[in-house]
Amino acid sequence: MSDFPWLSVLIGLPLVGALLLIAIPRERETLVKQFALGVSLVVAALTGAVAAGFDAGGARFQFEEKYWWIKEFGVHWALGVDGVALTLILMSVILVPLVILASWHEADRSGGSDVPAKRSVKTYFALLLTLEAAMIGVFAATDVFLFYVFFEAMLVPVYFIIGSYGGAQRSYAAVKFLLYSLFGGLLMLVAVIWLYPLSAKSAADGGVGHGTFMFDELSKMNIDPTTAKWLFLGFFVAFAIKAPMFPVHTWLPDAAQQSPAGALVLIVGVLDKVGTYGMLRFCLELFPGASKWATPAVLAFAVVSIIYGAILAIGQVDMKRLIAYTSISHFGFIVLGVFAMTSQAQSGAALYMVNHGFSTGALFLIVGFMIVRRRSAKISDFGGMQKVAPVLAGTFLVAGLSSLSLPGLSPFVSEFLVVVGTFSRYEWAAVASIIAIVLAAIYILWMYQRTMGGPTVPAVEGMKDLSAREKWVIAPIIAIIVAMGFFPQPVLHVINPSVDHTLARVDRHDPAPDITGNVAENGARP
Amino acid sequence: MQAEGIQAASWLLIALPLAGAAILLLGGRRTDRWGHLLGCATAVAAFGVGVAMLVQMLGYDAAERGRTVHLWDFIDVGSFKVGMNLLVDPLSISFVLLITGVGSLIHIYSIGYMAEDPERRKFFAYLNLFVAAMLLLVLGDNYLVMFLGWEGVGLASYLLIGFWQHKPTAATAAKKAFVVNRVGDMGIIIAIALMFATFGTIDYGPILGGEQAGMASRLSTGTATAIGLLLLLGACGKSAQLPLQSWLLDAMEGPTPVSALIHAATMVTAGVYLIVRSGPIFEMSETAQLVVTIVGAATLLFGAIIGCAKDDIKKALAGSTMSQIGYMTLAAGLGKAGYVFAIAHLIAHGFFKAGLFLGAGSVMHGMKDDVNMRHYGALRAVMMTTTVTFGLGYLAIIGFPLLSGWFTKDAIIEAAFDKGGTSGAVLGACAVIGAAVTAYYMSRVMFMTFFGEKRWADDVHPHESPKVMTVPLMLLAVGSVAAGGLLILGGFSGFLEPVVGAPEHEHEFKWLTAPGAAVFVLMIIGAAIAWRQYGARKVPREAPKGSFVTVAARKDLYGDAFNESLLMRPGQWLTRLAVWFDGRGVDGLVNGTAAGVGGSSGRLRRVQTGFARSYALSMLGGAALVVAALLVVNVS
């Protein structure tokens, strides 16, 4: 099975699905939705089957394929996954069908008062499938140029989703999103192209002897420190915008507020992860020296993002904006973990990307359910919902608790690992970041109290609890969050070897404990 | 040593109530009819398992009573290896029996107390969840598993304080409890990180040691102080000790059985457990130990003073809980000389305080949920069982000779004096004064509620509670009377010794001691003053104005005012400032500058038509900022 181009098939399937979708007659809306759901389920199942064949103890990149794409320019269609990429792809393909199911009526013409006149149901679902293809591609690419292509390709469906299916100020938000992303992308493009002549240099000059964009070759280069710093910055700024980090984060709250809730799951849950994934994979491994050089400043930005995002979240009046700001705080933790460069912190960061996708995804989906009922995401438009919709309130609470990293739910494990791993090398950063656990309790529980607690406000009276479809959307995510809260090891087992590779490349070793030895067998007491 | 027999199945202790909670929450309304029975059954079954485990343990030699159970590999990254491991030893089994024993009684009582509540099933689900989490807390064999339980009980506490979410006060109190506890949790997480950085492990065995000293014995004083104070911060949050005490009084918004189980008998004592369990770390730092004793002494007075002024029966008892845990914390800070008494008092307190709270619940049940003691009076005539059981709890807590509190509290007072030096004298004096104040405020509660003239309105018809509530009261009263004596005379110190170590000077129990006699006299005086004010005299239905001390005590000694002016208001300003800054500063400032520099014709045009360009500029500004900062910070 190893020779079969599984990853290409995984990228191709949703694309073909999107094309076939366009061929379905416009009136057959239900068929469009069912077909989209079917395609995404097949992709998810197939990915699961592929993932089952992944050998955590085996080669770093598996399911590799490599074909010439633009030979004159040294560009390959090269795919392959390591543990981190695989888990992120798995997360993406699990989220897509749930998003499609949750967005069942998102594009319907009967949607609501502020719905634009021209909205095509099938375009919406075709865009979601296109986005899925790009998401798989961006994590699977092992050619840096191909990665860049997928990186930019993701923008297109998202731009149209926000711009055509978003809220009242959708075009403003869409343009802001696009410009920020394009700007970052351009910086990265400059850096990517710059790599080509560097790689063409002889091995003695730090190159590999021929022009290439293959990641495994580029990561063996020995770039001179000054150049490496500039290239690092090109990549890093692009990823910092994508993630996003303070102070280039302001596009996200606007995009979040205007975007349909379902698509938002993919924007914040998956797209933004490309930023932190990129830092872990490309910044660190292509420019290890420059990464270490930049570490103190990056950690400072990460800590500021953690605290700043959390404080901003407390001050929000719109739930989608609020969750967007919590994500800025969470991305801060991921960046902290990536750059602390200990195995605990980096495995924690990689796991955090997955956990955050499900946790924040659940929050956005439930907020989406609330918006469908109330036509508003404003906190003050709700109140006392737990009385009329206890199941909705319960799932909202669980999702919220996962977002504040309650032990027993998956995000705790990753946040804890990041803090412990960061502490062992940069005590100040870990201590400063920990204030976020108090702020997180405030923003989540205060939001819960104002929307679900208190006396039931008239506008909420008679609201329906979750429908069967909505329960099918949210139950799998909550099951994953709980299961990975108690059993994170199977995922960590897959992630750890990739992280070890990265750490070996940057030549960082975990600090040794101050006091050693005397470890009683098995921790046994007398 | 690996556990065998029933101890190897100690996971059942947690799994039973956890399964109960899961069935009741996922089953929804379908389980309404029998949900409360399932809830009780799992708690009682867990108690049965606990008893069987104790019997098995008593069959082992003292040195072989610590047994571990490995369930699965929880987290394994680099050198950070943490198993989902349980530890059955004399300390954890003591808690297991308290939690499941008192817990079962409170479950059963709740059948009657919550009978009218449409959400009774959910209530039992949360209670079961609490029991499971609390057992995980005490059974965990490393700091991370302990912390899982620690946060689990925090969650259960949050859910149960806010059980009546439609009451804004309850919803706010629940959130407050959680947030304040999180302040303490920061301490625990950093403590765990520091322990991992120091020892390379967070397992109890290697750090704390057993027969042989663990790695903690090689700690430098500075690190030991740091870890100790960080753990203490966590303990202060969970156990409502100064300065994180403010949430406990508000937590009385929860249904009364919750106040009895979580906010009196078990969860709030978790901080004491943590300190006693981590004893070998605290013993390496005199500073950390001293701070623990100071926190304990200050809180025992703080809580007692609040208890004197409250007219709300539950809040008076909550002040008392704070104060009694202060005694335990004080004892825990005394090191090996105090650990056993801290735990003995904790267990005795679990019985009498649970009994007192459930007694208060029984009164409220008869009084249409009125909590104001000024509306009570003379209830002994109509609620005989409640009066007697409450009275026994009352005598136990004020330390009436031969009852539970007398054995355990006097032991703590003596141990404080035995510490010697100025600190010993001051701590001992605080504990003695606290005992006198305790006698006063508890007598006040007793007299206002059950004695004097009836002050209730004509449409209230107080009555005795049903059997399902009074039988647990009676059983708890037996514990209030006997638990302390059984523990102190029955060799509890020998039982715990393999875990907490032996004190330098073997403490010998004496029936009559000088501090004991002084405490007895002061107790009589305290009770007498209360009788003069609230027993012999008519109690007004409306609270009199009171001196400034009374007013301060009614306002929880300004704990909330302190938090509000020092933390909440500045926090709100900071939040507003940040929101403003994010809109204007980060986005706007760069835009504005760009517009000014570019000679653009003003804000309006930019907003309406030029946002594409201005955002391009703002991004450029932001990106430039990142690059500049990277270069500046790393200029070296």
Closest-CA residue of A relative to B163 is: A453
pLDDT of residue B81 exceeding 50:
yes
Question: Would an 8 Å CB–CB cutoff place A455 in contact with chain B?
Answer: yes
Task: Quote the minimal CA–CA distance from A119 to chain B in Å.
Answer: 24
Task: Quote the minimal CA–CA distance from A320 to chain B in Å.
Answer: 15
pLDDT of residue B231 exceeding 50:
yes
Which residues of B fall within a CB distance of 8 Å from A421?
77, 80
Q: Do B633 and A488 touch (CB under 8 A)?
A: no
ipTM score for this prediction = 0.92
Question: Would an 8 Å CB–CB cutoff place A465 in contact with chain B?
Answer: no
Which residues of B fall within a CB distance of 8 Å from A241?
619, 623
What is the reported pTM? 0.91
Average pLDDT for B142-151:
95
Mutation choice for B interface testing from A402, A515, A516, A521 by most B CBs within 10 A:
A515
- Mean of pLDDT over chain A: 89
pLDDT at res. B422: 86
Q: To 10 degrees, what angle do helices B90-113 and B492-500 make?
A: 120
Average pLDDT for B487-495:
84
Q: Do A297 and B629 touch (CB under 8 A)?
A: yes
> Pick from B75, B172, B578: which is nearest to A413 by CB?
B75
pLDDT of residue A177 exceeding 50:
yes
Cα(A281)–Cα(A274) distance, integer angstroms: 10
Q: Do B165 and A453 touch (CB under 8 A)?
A: yes
Q: To 10 degrees, what angle do helices B221-238 and B168-199 make?
A: 160
Quickly list DSSP for A12-73: HHHHHHHHHHHHS-TT-HHHHHHHHHHHHHHHHHHHHHHHHT--TTS-SSEEEEEEEEEGGG
Task: Quote the minimal CA–CA distance from A149 to chain B in Å.
Answer: 21
Q: Do A248 and B623 touch (CB under 8 A)?
A: yes
pLDDT tens-digit series, residues B477-486: 998 888 888 8
Q: How far is CA A336 from the centre of its chain?
A: 16
Average pLDDT for A41-56:
92
Quickly list DSSP for B301-316: HHHHHHHHH--BHHHH
Average pLDDT for A78-97:
94
User: Which residues, in sequence order, are bridge partners of residue A77?
Assistant: A67
Q: 3-state class of B213 per DSSP? A: strand
Cα(B545)–Cα(B525) distance, integer angstroms: 25
pLDDT of residue B602 exceeding 50:
no
Cα(B320)–Cα(B324) distance, integer angstroms: 6
Question: Would an 8 Å CB–CB cutoff place A519 in contact with chain B?
Answer: yes
pLDDT tens-digit series, residues A116-134: 545 788 888 999 999 999 9
A493: pLDDT confidence band, cut at 50, 70 and 90?
very high
Least confident of A166-175, B131-140, B308-317, B381-390: A166-175
pLDDT at res. B595: 46
Q: Do A315 and B204 touch (CB under 8 A)?
A: no
pLDDT at res. A374: 86
Mutation choice for A interface testing from B130, B581, B630, B632 by most A CBs within 10 A:
B630
Which residues of A fall within a CB distance of 8 Å from B70?
522
Average pLDDT for B514-521:
86
pLDDT at res. A174: 84
Question: Would an 8 Å CB–CB cutoff place A386 in contact with chain B?
Answer: yes
Average pLDDT for B34-49:
93
User: Which residues, in sequence order, are bridge partners of residue B87?
Assistant: B68
Q: How far is CA A12 from the centre of its chain?
A: 21
Cα(B493)–Cα(B291) distance, integer angstroms: 25
Q: Do A526 and B616 touch (CB under 8 A)?
A: no
Among A residues 25-64, those touching chain B with beta carbons less than 8 Å apart:
none
Cα(B231)–Cα(B274) distance, integer angstroms: 8
pLDDT at res. B291: 94
Closest-CA residue of A relative to B609 is: A172
Give φ, ψ of B527 to 5 degrees: -65, -35
Average pLDDT for B369-379:
84
Average pLDDT for B488-515:
81
CB B432 within 8 A of CB B298: no
Task: Quote the minimal CA–CA distance from B396 to chain A in Å.
Answer: 35
- H/E stretch holding B87 reads strand B80-88
B459: pLDDT confidence band, cut at 50, 70 and 90?
confident
pLDDT tens-digit series, residues A447-470: 999 999 888 888 888 888 988 999
Question: Would an 8 Å CB–CB cutoff place A107 in contact with chain B?
Answer: no
